[in-house]
Structure 1
Amino acid sequence: MPHDIVILGIFVADAAFRCDAPPRLGETVLGTGFTLGPGGKGSNQAVAAAMAGGDVGFLTRIGKDTFGAMGQETWARAGVHPLAVIDESLPTGAAGIFVETGTGKNAIVVSPGAAGAISVADVAAQAEAIGQARVALTQLEQPMAAAEAFLRVAREGGAITILNPAPAAPLPQGMLALCDYLIPNEAEAEGLTGIAVTDRDSAARAGGALLDQGVGKAVIVTLGGDGALVCDAAGARHVPPINAGPVVDTTGAGDAFNGGFATALAEGRGLEDALRFATAVAAISVTRAGAAAAMPTRAEVEALLAR
């Protein structure tokens, strides 16, 4: 059965440690809290999109273990339709997250596990579902070849294609031309262009450079607490943030934005409306601890936008 949105990405279990400051090499620090929950950019984005009202299929690879079961339970609760390969030879991945008490800023180490073996063949096996989607979204936590194949299949099927280039990595020649929308944060935009992104003006320069490299419709540079900067054929403009309350944890903010944006586009919303919707999803997510657990419902997003 086809889905409006298909997302390729990884699922990992997030082990999140709250502390006053992340430890330096050779240093031990006492934490102020710990949680174990579902994570991985692709899975977080799928949960965000589904919670926000999207019909989502999620293509990934997990192990036959406790963490893999956590992923399946997470998708079932959120209404995500798994297109998952169960790998009996590799464990489900995990991520270690250090969240700074007070600011909510984080540092993350990801070990993809089974998801690191996502292949071009896995993408080919779901070519029909990908090709029939309205929106296709991926990131760079799984192997690059699989991400590129996914975008190519989606493009050939007529889907709107979105790449969240996280974590930052050099892209194969021509891969940006497969993207209708590119959504990097400041560090990722700098990694792709060499332009240090420190404010809106530099974000606009980086966005323009990425458009020149082949992105089809728009480059959206997310700017954390300052919202986002969108660059398209009409020029560059700021997307203001929305205040949904005190910031608790920024771990899943980018994933919330990407998932919300995919849902809005799948519903046929225009760019400006989709950006506002995505900003609201992200704004609510940072007021809560965790990543997937912090994603808001459709009713919560609509209530914030109506304020």
Structure 2
Amino acid sequence: MSIKKYDVVVIGELNVDLILNKTDVFPEIGKEILARQMNLVLGSSSAIFASNLSCLGAKVAFIGKTGADLFGDFVISSLHSKTVDTTGIVRDRSCSTGATVVVNFNEDRAMITHPGAMETFSGNEVNWEIIRQSRHLHISSYFIQTSLQKNIGDIFRKAKQLGLTTSFDPQWDPAENWKIDLDQILPDIDLFFPNEAEILKITRSSTVEDALQKIKPAAGIIVIKQGNRGSTIVQDGKAHLLPAFLNKEVVDAIGAGDSFNAGFVYRFLQDKPLEYCHRFGNMIAAVSTTAAGGTGAFSGRQEVFTVLKEKYGYEEN
């Protein structure tokens, strides 16, 4: 068996986040409010996952698209700084890099996204040589990548044929149409990472139990993220809720779910028991909330494990 160049290849959307914190009230139409703190950071579910997974120690490559602009330069530079391979990222002069403005107030937030290149990235721009050199494929943000949607099932299927393990996080549908053929996609997915609101919307269900009944026949391992309540893992028809590792001084929760995915996949690729992967995912999600943005808490591997030890008593074996 040949040694792969990358542990994980990520196919997904790319954007920057402009985060406004320390507001006194939540925004209202027609009224101006002040934010006492502003940060421009790497955004997008896929990029946060890739960056934080690389920070933990995995070898990560990214396949996606940005505009040939300053925000695109920022995205590439941010990923480079976390040693993510960006040779699979297309730079397109005909479109702009995506951007999201985030306004945080207490534990609530409002977001406005300009999708830009995220909507134009398509299956014929996917670099298959990078995928062939990888052990695991992760795809996120199905709904916002409208040009890629029709190819995602085939991409997962071909990746499985090449011997990769796979994971998928659908993310929120900004249009709230929730049209996705899970029966066609799930059989080729090893780890399915929706949050609770997403799985209810996708399956048109009123309870998690009902949602699981609809997708279990086609699914492998399902992990449902449930915010400060923790997360539930479902395997072989059995569900187990693991409470969250709470951070009493939350800066924001941006990217906490993506960080959970990174922690879970990191241990999954080390062949750790699922219970261990689950627990580590919850801890990495908690670490994410200690700094602004999805990657702010992940300045380096040693720093992350120092936080894990000091806050949650975790030490590497």
TM-score (norm 1): 0.89
Quick one: distance in 1 between partners of 2:264 and 2:138?
10
Residue 185 of structure 1: aligned partner: 195
Q: Say whether residues 1:150 and 2:145 are aligned partners.
A: no
Cα 1:265–1:45, aligned 2, differ >3 Å: closer, same or farther?
same
TM-score (norm 2): 0.86
Quick one: distance in 1 between partners of 2:155 and 2:24?
40
Q: Report how many aligned residue pairs link the two structures.
A: 296
The equivalent position to 1:165 in structure 2, one of 165, 170, 177, is 170
Question: SS of 1:148's equivalent?
Answer: helix
Amino acid at match of 1:157: L
Unaligned runs of 5+ in 2: none
* Residues 152 and 178, structure 1, Cα contact 8 Å, conserved in 2: yes
* Residues 92 and 113, structure 1, Cα contact 8 Å, conserved in 2: yes
Cα 1:132–1:204, aligned 2, differ >3 Å: closer, same or farther?
farther
Amino acid at match of 2:290: T
Give % identity.
26
Q: Deviations over 1:282-304 (max 9, x none)?
A: 11011111112233643324634
Cα 1:70–1:207, aligned 2, differ >3 Å: closer, same or farther?
same
Quick one: distance in 1 between partners of 2:114 and 2:240?
36
Amino acid at match of 1:6: V
Question: SS of 1:134's equivalent?
Answer: strand
For 1:52-131, list aligned pairs within 5 A.
Answer: 52-82=56-86, 83-100=88-105, 102-103=106-107, 105-123=108-126, 126-131=127-132
Q: Say whether residues 1:203 and 2:213 are aligned partners.
A: no
Structure showing greater relative contact order (alpha-carbon pairs closer than 8 Å, 6 or more residues apart)? 1
Quick one: distance in 1 between partners of 2:13 and 2:96?
13
Residue 136 of structure 1: aligned partner: 137
Residue 224 of structure 2: aligned partner: 221
Unaligned runs of 5+ in 1: 197-201
Q: Deviations over 1:182-240 (max 9, x none)?
A: 111121011112223xxxxx43443343213x11x211110101110111105011122
Question: SS of 2:171's equivalent?
Answer: coil
Q: Deviations over 1:35-76 (max 9, x none)?
A: 212111111110011011111011110111111111111111
Question: SS of 1:110's equivalent?
Answer: strand
Residue 16 of structure 2: aligned partner: 13
Cα 1:10–1:264, aligned 2, differ >3 Å: closer, same or farther?
same
Residue 295 of structure 2: aligned partner: 292
Question: SS of 2:290's equivalent?
Answer: coil
Quick one: distance in 1 between partners of 2:36 and 2:154?
42
Residue 199 of structure 1: aligned partner: none
Quick one: distance in 1 between partners of 2:156 and 2:29?
38
* Residues 256 and 281, structure 1, Cα contact 8 Å, conserved in 2: yes
